[in-house]
């Protein structure tokens, strides 16, 4: 039975050796993956060292990058040049001569008495065809000069002879290398004595492409043949070229396009394509088709005639053939219809057998132009295939690894230097931050951190529970199910469900709003939180403060003597900031200065925000007392009143305070808040708006219009500063129902009276305090939020979003404005909002 040879089974020792080799290879791969590769000098090293060593290293790296790029580009250029198979013309000199034997005039004796004057000898001649490729320096010399030069070279001095021998070896070309066939045609008028055919023919034998040596029949410099005869004969020597790639003679129609009479197939196709591109004949939509001008029509028409004549129409697109258009994929076939093999090189020669010629015989010399490989290609190949190149690459790779290790050590040393430098400058604060960082890492390792890193779970979306919250989403439920399914433990599944529902309950409770649980998420009593859970809840409710709340920074707050402004001033003072309180009421300013206490300075300025010139007082205090630097600018001053259409004083008072108070403040103080803003010391601008400027409830058009305009100003300011001063953040504060002087009464006289009334009245249960608003503002600023839309104890964030969406849909759906308060839309609005739960 014939089949594959059975493989020898490995022995235990061989299998063990193979496994050991695989393990070693795996270890080496792991070791290579752990090796450092970065060779860039770490930033800030200059501050830790003496001298300019770091900069000099960077300069060297830049030189190295440029050198690598240049060498790589040059090497690719050389590779491209080698692959082009460039040829050049050289001169092949051909000598044709003949000798004679046993001719009548060569006979020594004749029998004069006999009537037969024959010599009893067969007259013959021998023709020799020799060829030699001339050197570049010899191509312009004649044969005599060439022979003399060869002789001189043999008799030259030792130094010159050695110089000739020291020339770089080049490829040795012979006569047979340039031709694939040679034939000799005899004049028909001359026949051999016996009438036999005297033709001579040589064909190059087939040689394997990868053969190192040629057979003798294909590797010679001269060709000789002998024939009988005693008369002069005219012959023609035909030399059929052997070229790769083969060149052809092109038809006159194609020559009009290519501007040459000879070309290879590839050159002809590329020449037609370049002609099409140069004349803009290629179609825009169908790149494979092109329009035919008169020259192309002549070429294409001939091709179509050949196709129809050969019955091959089915091979081509009939639509293309029916139009006067060409098809680029057919170009190779089109070209071959216009190309014929090159005519052989014809060398005429007369074989002389007479005595007169042979007393001083001279060969007939022809110079034939032949194609040879460009000698530069061999030089380039020797460069590209240099065996030392690979070894040099290995040496460079080893040096790169050493440099990367040194750079890694420098980076480690810089980190240590930075650690101890920071510790030396402010040990107390540094140790506190370091301990906080270590504590956070321990929380992560012990599983007490939220979402891997505690800071990631500080957003409001992670606090919100219920169906609208993240904890009620399909992604969370799917994740819990995957964990339960992977573990395949019923007890764990029950416990995971309890934890999931507890998250929903606690997130919903954190917003002080009632959430209706769906059947998919049953409500369970809140469990007693463990110590880690309590810690986690405290972390999530206390996000990191915005960098603007830093000691010694200046906060300028308009309307800062009462309500939200006063609460914000107290918050800033608690961080050790300097506070400049601006308000229209002098009595409230005096009281506020007593209330606001902190490590920083507290100053007050009596200000009417509706008057642009009064802001100059604020600017003067900032420049004189606080070096002209504002870190936090809060444009909070506002007022409200009741009025109706036709009451110009009502509109003027509210717009001048609420709208132009913000405009005047920005026009005067904005440069002081942005000029010194940097990434390490950013600044912020807070502009107080209102929900009435968004949802626009009826009853107070002037107030709603002022707050809507304030919102537009804040959005424009945020966009402009994001381009000019991106380190200055803008925040639009939109309070909910807040117990302040403005919302505690339906009438308004002076700010002082409102503040007194605020103290006397009891805060409604549904309202937030000013302190709660400021806490919410601080948290949203820490998250980088522009819109700070505050909920309250009656209206949740979800309800706010629904109301804003309904008001926006008035515009999008073409409804009348303010439909939420229209009787014919009230029920629809209520049902729509209920359906969004």
Encode pLDDT of 354-402 as tens digits. Answer: 989 998 999 999 999 998 888 787 788 888 888 888 888 889 988 988 9
Residues 661 and 720 occupy one common structural domain: yes
Judging by DSSP bridges, how do beta strands 683-688 and 578-583 pair with one another?
unpaired
pLDDT, residue 152, reads: 43
Q: Using an 8 Å Cβ cutoff, are 550 and 575 in contact?
A: yes
Specify whether 597 is located in the same domain as 486: no
Q: DSSP labels for 448-499?
A: -SSTTSGGGG-SGGGT--STTSGGGSHHHHHHHHHHHHHHT-HHHHHHHHHH
CA distance 520 to 476: 13
Is 317's pLDDT higher than 70?
A: no
Average pLDDT over residues 795-814: 86
pLDDT grade for 128, boundaries at 50, 70 and 90? very high
Task: Give yes or no for residue 494 having a pLDDT over 60.
Answer: no
- 596-650 pLDDT per residue, tens: 988 888 999 999 999 999 999 999 999 988 888 999 999 998 888 888 888 888 8
| Distance between CA atoms of residues 235 and 596, nearest Å | 124
Please tell me which residue, 111 or 128, carries the higher pLDDT value.
128
CA distances from 159 to 137, 151, 163, 507 (A): 20, 16, 6, 100
* Assigned domain for 701 exists: yes
Is 451 a domain residue?
A: no
Q: Confirm whether 156 is domain-assigned.
A: no
pLDDT digits (tens, 9 = 90+) for 591-605: 888 889 888 889 999
- The C-alpha atoms of residue 377 and residue 383 are separated, in whole angstroms, by 10
Q: Which pLDDT belongs to residue 210?
A: 60
Residue (of 171, 211, 139) closest to 376 by Cα position: 171
Residue 94: predicted pLDDT: 95
Are 718 and 679 found together in one domain? Answer: yes
In total, how many domains does the chain have?
A: 6
Whether residue 498 is preceded by a cis peptide bond, meaning omega within 30 degrees of 0, is no
In the prediction, which pLDDT does 684 show? Answer: 94
Residue with tokens 């900032």: 622
Are 380 and 521 found together in one domain? Answer: no
Positive or negative, the CA dihedral 566, 569, 571, 573 is negative
Considering the domain architecture, whether residues 136 and 235 belong to the same structural domain is answered as: yes
pLDDT in tens, 282-311: 888 888 888 888 888 888 776 666 655 554
Confidence band (pLDDT; 50, 70, 90) for 211?
Answer: low
CB atoms within 10 A of CB 238: 16
Question: Residue 345: helix, strand or coil by DSSP?
Answer: strand
Task: Give yes or no: residues 363 and 399 share one domain.
Answer: no
Range of the domain at 690: 554-795
Amino acid 531: pLDDT: 41
Rg over CA atoms, the chain? 50
The answer on 528 and 651 residing in a single domain is no
* pTM of the full structure: 0.40
Q: Is residue 194 part of a domain?
A: yes
Regarding whether 603 and 744 lie in a shared domain, the answer is yes
Which CATH number does the domain housing residue 271 bear? 1.10.245.10
Q: What distance in Å separates the CA atoms of residue 771 and residue 755, rounded to the nearest whole number?
A: 15
**Residue among 779, 826, 798, 231 nearest 543 (CA):** 779
pLDDT in tens, 332-365: 888 888 899 999 999 999 999 998 999 899 999 9
Q: Where are the alpha helices (DSSP H) in 323-426?
A: 331-336, 355-358, 375-384, 387-425
Task: Taking the CA atoms of 471, 475, 477 and 481 in sequence, report the sign of the dihedral they define.
Answer: negative
Exposure class string for 285-304: b at 16+ Cβ within 10 A, else e: eeeebbbbeeebebbbebbb
Name the residue with higher pLDDT: 65 or 484. Answer: 65
- pLDDT 10s digits, 735-783: 988 887 544 433 333 444 444 554 555 778 888 888 989 999 998 888 8
**698 and 774 in a common domain:** yes
Residue 813 has pLDDT above 80, yes or no: yes
Q: Is 239 inside a domain boundary?
A: yes
Structural domain contains residue 441? no
Average pLDDT over residues 510-536: 40
pLDDT score at 516: 35
pLDDT mean across residues, the chain: 78
223 and 133 within one domain? yes
Alpha-carbon distance 618 to 621, whole Å?
A: 5
102, 186: one domain: yes
Whether residues 738 and 650 share a domain: the answer is yes
Residue 155 lies in a domain: no
- In a domain, residue 8? The reply is no
Pairing mode, strands 325-327 and 578-583: unpaired
Q: Which helix (H) or strand (E) holds 835?
A: helix 823-835
Q: Determine whether 552 is exposed, middle or buried from the number of CB atoms within 10 Å of its CB (0-12, 13-18, 19+).
A: middle
Better-scored residue on pLDDT, 523 or 414: 414
Residues facing residue 233 across a β-bridge: 351
Cα(828)–Cα(751) distance, rounded to whole angstroms? Answer: 40
Angle separating helix axes 563-574 and 586-595, nearest 10 degrees: 30
């Amino acid at each position: 039975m014939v089949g594959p040879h059975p493989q020898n089974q490995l022995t235990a020792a061989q299998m063990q050796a193979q496994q050991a080799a695989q393990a070693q290879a795996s270890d080496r791969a792991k070791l290579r993956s752990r090796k450092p590769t970065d060779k860039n000098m770490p930033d800030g090293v200059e501050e830790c060292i003496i001298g300019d060593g770091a900069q000099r290293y960077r300069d060297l790296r830049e030189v190295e990058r440029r050198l690598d790029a240049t060498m790589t580009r040059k090497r690719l250029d050389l590779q491209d040049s080698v692959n082009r198979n460039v040829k050049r013309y050289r001169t092949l000199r051909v000598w044709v001569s003949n000798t004679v034997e046993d001719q009548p005039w060569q006979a020594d004796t004749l029998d004069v008495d006999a009537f037969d004057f024959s010599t009893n000898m067969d007259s013959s001649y021998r023709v020799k065809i020799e060829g030699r490729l001339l050197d570049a320096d010899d191509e312009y010399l004649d044969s005599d000069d060439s022979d003399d030069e060869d002789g001189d070279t043999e008799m030259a001095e030792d130094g010159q002879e050695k110089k000739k021998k020291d020339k770089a070896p080049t490829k040795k070309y012979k006569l047979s290398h340039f031709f694939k066939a040679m034939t000799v045609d005899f004049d028909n008028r001359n026949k051999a004595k016996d009438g036999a055919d005297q033709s001579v023919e040589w064909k190059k034998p087939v040689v394997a492409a990868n053969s190192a040596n040629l057979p003798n029949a294909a590797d010679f410099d001269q060709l000789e043949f002998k024939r009988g005869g005693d008369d002069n004969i005219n012959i023609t020597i035909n030399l059929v070229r052997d070229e790769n790639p083969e060149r052809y003679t092109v038809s006159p129609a194609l020559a009009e396009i290519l501007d040459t009479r000879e070309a290879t197939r590839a050159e002809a196709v590329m020449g037609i394509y370049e002609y099409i591109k140069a004349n803009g004949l290629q179609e825009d939509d169908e790149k494979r088709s092109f329009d035919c001008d008169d020259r192309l029509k002549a070429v294409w028409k001939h091709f179509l005639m050949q196709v129809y004549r050969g019955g091959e129409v089915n091979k081509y697109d009939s639509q293309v053939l029916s139009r006067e258009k060409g098809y680029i994929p057919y170009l190779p076939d089109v070209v071959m219809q216009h190309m014929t093999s090159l005519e052989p090189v014809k060398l005429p020669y007369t074989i002389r057998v007479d005595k007169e010629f042979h007393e001083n015989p001279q060969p007939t010399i022809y110079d034939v132009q032949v194609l040879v490989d460009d000698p530069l290609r061999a030089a380039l190949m020797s460069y590209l295939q240099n065996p030392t190149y690979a070894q040099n690459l290995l040496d460079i790779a080893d040096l790169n690894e050493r440099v990367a290790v040194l750079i890694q050590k420098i980076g480690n040393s810089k980190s240590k230097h930075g650690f101890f430098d920071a510790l030396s400058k402010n040990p107390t604060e540094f140790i506190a931050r370091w301990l906080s960082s270590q504590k956070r890492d321990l929380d992560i390792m012990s599983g007490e951190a939220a979402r891997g890193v505690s800071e990631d779970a500080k957003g409001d979306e992670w606090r919100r529970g219920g169906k609208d919250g993240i904890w009620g989403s399909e992604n969370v439920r799917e994740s819990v199910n995957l964990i339960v399914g992977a573990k395949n433990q019923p007890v764990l599944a029950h416990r995971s469900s309890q934890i999931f529902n507890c998250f929903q309950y606690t997130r919903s409770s954190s917003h002080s709003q009632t959430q209706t649980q769906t059947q998919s998420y049953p409500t369970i009593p809140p469990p007693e939180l463990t110590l880690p859970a309590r810690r986690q809840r405290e972390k999530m409710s206390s996000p990191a403060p915005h960098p603007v709340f830093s000691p010694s920074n200046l906060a300028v707050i308009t309307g800062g003597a009462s309500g939200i402004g006063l609460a914000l001033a107290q918050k800033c003072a608690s961080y050790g900031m300097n506070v400049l309180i601006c308000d229209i009421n002098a009595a409230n300013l005096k009281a506020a200065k007593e209330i606001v206490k902190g490590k920083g300075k507290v100053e007050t300025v009596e200000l009417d925000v509706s008057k642009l010139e009064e802001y100059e007082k604020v600017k003067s205090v900032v420049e004189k007392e606080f070096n002209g630097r504002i870190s936090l600018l809060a444009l909070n001053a506002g007022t409200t009143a009741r009025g109706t259409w036709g009451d110009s004083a009502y509109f003027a008072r509210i717009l001048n305070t609420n709208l132009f108070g913000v405009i005047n403040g920005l026009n005067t103080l904005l440069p002081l808040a942005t000029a010194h803003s940097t990434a390490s010391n950013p600044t912020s601008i807070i502009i107080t708006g209102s929900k009435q400027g968004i949802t626009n409830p009826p009853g107070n058009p002037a107030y709603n219009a002022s707050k809507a305009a304030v919102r537009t100003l804040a959005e424009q300011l945020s966009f402009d500063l994001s381009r000019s001063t991106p380190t200055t953040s803008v925040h639009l504060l939109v309070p909910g129902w807040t117990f302040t002087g403005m919302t505690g009464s339906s009438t308004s006289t002076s700010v002082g009276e409102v503040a007194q009334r605020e103290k006397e009245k009891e805060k409604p249960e549904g309202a937030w305090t000013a302190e709660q608003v400021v806490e919410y503002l601080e948290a949203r600023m820490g998250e980088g939020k522009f819109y700070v839309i505050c909920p309250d104890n009656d209206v949740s964030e979800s309800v706010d979003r629904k109301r804003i969406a309904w008001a926006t849909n008035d515009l999008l759906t073409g409804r009348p404005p303010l439909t939420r308060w229209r009787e014919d839309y009230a029920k629809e609005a209520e049902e729509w909002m209920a359906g969004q739960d």
